[in-house]
Amino acid sequence: MIQTLVLDRESRAFSRVGDAEEISDLCANSANIVWVDVADPTSQDFEDLAKEFGFHPLSIEDCRHRHQRPKVEEYPGYYFIVLYEAELDEENQLKLRELGIFLGKHYVVTVHSEPVAAIVTAERLWRSWTDLAERGTGLLAYLLMDSIVDDYLPLLDAISDRMEFLEDRIFVDFQAEAIEEIFYLKKELLLMRRSVTPLRDVFNTLLRREQPIFPRETHIYFQDVFDHLIRVADTIDILRDMVSSTMDAYLSISGNRMNMIMKRLTSISTILMSATLVAGIYGMNFEYMPELKWRYGYVGTLASMLAIGLAVYFYFRKIKWL
């Protein structure tokens, strides 16, 4: 489904256009900024885009096939950019939504197969920033990218809170199932890093001084997003190091607990072996059994077994094996 929103920079008025065939005429007017949003595109939608804007077949092919690497590619008269919006669903699982952006001098085309919250946020802000309409499509591109990058920060805060809770489960009340959560957090951070790190190349390209599409005044907006991106990337690296440290701590505590268990089992076995030694000696086939020579031999044997067992027990308690 194709939706078109047009801003007339002279009158500062917005209007929606329903006919896709009018897009090329709207883009021909330098006073217009045309935003075409294509949700859940069909093959016909891609054909209409290629026809109305003259997009290169390679960029259309990249947009058609999902799961592209975050990137920016320069074509005659426009850029093709791939970004990923991140979100935690109801089950606290990370979801990435791919967004393709065709960025020209008088138009912005966004293509996505799933709902993207940044689209709604960017449209709301764009309508309220009409006093900066002379910034052209660079302002709209900034609003889209800034919304996507800023949404990473609350996700990282949520992951940080989950890590604090996870540390309590490990250090305060050791739970063996915590290892699954550790590996899952590590996987989430890896996915986010793959979505964020390549964006540095995107903004390095957009911030070049020889950029022909945007006016010089637009660079400061992309620099702001770039600064936020660096902050997000640094936070992801810090959290990844914390997850690795938490995993090492888990393995260390697990090993210590196993050592304590082995010490206790060894202590109990030693206590039982000492009693078994006495019982084994008195269970041998003597010619003259001690019980026959001494009236209290049986009771004495039990007492000696108990005394030896208690002595070994208190020794292990002293060395903190029990």
pLDDT tens figures, 134-164: 778 888 888 999 899 988 988 888 888 888 8
Which of 102, 84, 124, 94 is closest to 48 using CA atoms? 102
Which of 313, 285, 283 is closest to 301 using CA atoms? 283
**CA–CA distance from 22 to each of 10, 53, 94, 109, 111 (Å)?**
20, 11, 39, 14, 19
pLDDT at 110: 93
**CA–CA distance from 95 to each of 51, 87, 91, 200, 233 (Å)?**
33, 5, 11, 21, 18
Tokens of 47: 């054909």
Distance, CA of 242 to CA of 236 (rounded, Å): 10
Residues near 103 by beta carbon (within 8 Å), at least 6 away in sequence: 78, 79, 80, 81, 137, 141, 213
pLDDT at 99: 92
DSSP β-bridge partners for residue 85: 97
The single-letter DSSP state of residue 132 is G
pLDDT at 282: 67
Q: What's this model's pTM, rounded to 2 decimal places?
A: 0.75
Which of 7, 135, 113, 3 is closest to 67 using CA atoms? 113
Domains and CATH numbers, the chain: 1-131 (3.30.460.20), 259-318 (1.20.58.340)
pLDDT at 101: 92
Distance, CA of 37 to CA of 147 (rounded, Å): 16
Sign of torsion, CA 27 78 55 200?
negative
pLDDT at 287: 57
DSSP β-bridge partners for residue 13: 8
pLDDT at 173: 75
* DSSP, residue by residue, 167-184: HHHHHTS--TTHHHHHHH
Distance, CA of 103 to CA of 140 (rounded, Å): 10
Locate all alpha helices (DSSP H) within 75-210, ordered by sequence. 117-128, 137-150, 152-171, 178-196, 199-206
Residues of the chain with pLDDT below 50 are none
